Amino acid sequence: MWRVIRTVFLLFTGAVLGVLGAAGLLRGWFGRRAGAADASSDEIEIVAIFDGAELTSQASAFRGGRVLAWFGGIDVDLRGATIVDGAELDVRALFGGIAVHVPAGVRVDGHGRAILGGVDLSSGGPDDPGTPTIVVRAATAFGGISVGR
């Protein structure tokens, strides 16, 4: 009985990792350590594996970064930060959830993809050409990502 369960579990895990690898969701994340992210960091790298993380940014020139939640949850609040035009944020969730809150005067531009999960990029923002834009690339499998105000 346990051999069957173990075999099914290993096959399922291999299939999930194979699908994620083929979709490019895991590219660049393995072998990297998360850097420290604090309220004044202009670039962030946050990883939460079987854990949760929160960041309320007060950065004077936020340029972007990377966020990964693997069986965990992350909340990133950028409403107190000054966003540099063209800032780029890569957001990945695997069996987890991520919420990113952007300031009201910033336009969100990006794309997302999901495998048995959901991505909500509240795009748009002010139409003023001088408005800073944050570019968000989001991908999730069996999880959820929300970017909005």
Q: What is the pLDDT of residue 23?
A: 52
pLDDT band at 32 (very low <50, low <70, confident <90, very high): very low
Angle (nearest 5°) at CA 60 between 108 and 31: 70
Domain locations along the chain: 34-148
pLDDT > 70 fraction of the chain, expressed in percent and rounded: 81
Q: What residue type is 13 in one-letter code?
A: T
Distance CA 141, CA 70 (A): 10
Q: Give pLDDT tens digits for 37-68.
A: 677 888 999 998 888 899 999 999 999 999 99
Rounded to two decimals, the pTM is: 0.74
Pick the more confident residue, 81 or 123.
81
Q: Give the mean pLDDT of 24-34.
A: 48
Task: Give residue 31's pLDDT.
Answer: 39
